[in-house]
Amino acid sequence: MRKLLTLGILAQLTLSTISFAQTKVVAHRGAFKNTGVPENSIAALKEAIKMGCDGSEFDVHMSADSVIFVNHDAHIQGIAIETTSAKDLAAIKLSNGESLPTLEVYLKAGLKQKKTRLVLELKPSAVSKERGIALTRRAVAMVNSLKAASKVDYISFDYDICKEIIKIAPKATVQYLAGNKTPAELHADGIHGFDYHFSVLRKNPEWIKEAKSKKMITNVWTVNDEPDMDWLIEEGVSLITTNEPEILLKKVRK
């Protein structure tokens, strides 16, 4: 009996180890596509949290007077975020009636729970390289001041932004998005992993094993088709970023 119990505990431990290593689900711009709420809204973040996503991704830009707002594009409703004041941007309503969220409001909403990580994409500036770095410093300072550091992962297409985060927040995790660096190159620069388009990994499938062997994060965007999801789960990537979190959750949690 005692032996059976020990075996049972061992089996449970093994199972929990396996589930820990399972591919995790990141809702791209929140869970917006099948829920009918606007992308990158607080509502989309809440939907991702409600469905139990491991992470919810969102994008940020900085207003003319240095307030950070959550939006994918550099423009919203024809207004350029970087050259508009925070006061004018705060007056913009999304299609669900929600105000265009600031990073502060968005992080505070995300901090009301513990399960879903906040995957913060720092958008490079269209105005200047320096402005992208200034956005990065402000965003990291806000994350730290709200005590959100342990809940946030950073991603960016701009390699200098990735390196800046490592410099100013050595404990933060950073993934690079552009797909033009090998895992060895990222590793040498202290970047914690890649978050690459799935077509990059279709061309360089060996990068997944290489990154895993270096204990790097392997994240893939934006994977919406089931054959691609199945292949990446099989390859054991750490994270898949998707507009279809409902489908992916069913696959990884079965």
CB of 57 to Mg ion, least distance (A): 6
Task: Note whether 126 and 74 are within 8 A (CB).
Answer: yes
Q: Which stretch binds Mg ion (CB under 5 A): 42-50, 59-67, 127-135, 229-237?
A: 59-67
The one-letter amino acid at 193: G
Strand-pair category, 239-242 with 217-221: parallel
Q: Which is nearer to Mg ion, 35 or 175 (CB)?
A: 175
Q: Which is nearer to Mg ion, 236 or 245 (CB)?
A: 245
CB of 121 to Mg ion, least distance (A): 4
Among 121, 153, 195, 228, binds Mg ion (CB under 5 A): 121
47 touches Mg ion (CB under 5 A)? no
Q: Would you mind telling me the total number of residues written for the chain in this entry?
A: 254
Q: Which of 143, 119, 135, 121 is nearest to 63 (CA)?
A: 135
Among 59, 82, 195, 228, binds Mg ion (CB under 5 A): 59
- What distance in Å separates the CA atoms of residue 219 and residue 240, rounded to the nearest whole number? 6
- Structure token pair of residue 226: 């089931």
Q: Which stretch binds Mg ion (CB under 5 A): 15-23, 89-97, 120-128, 143-151?
A: 120-128
- Structure token pair of residue 29: 């711009």
The site for Mg ion (CB under 5 A) is made up of 59, 121
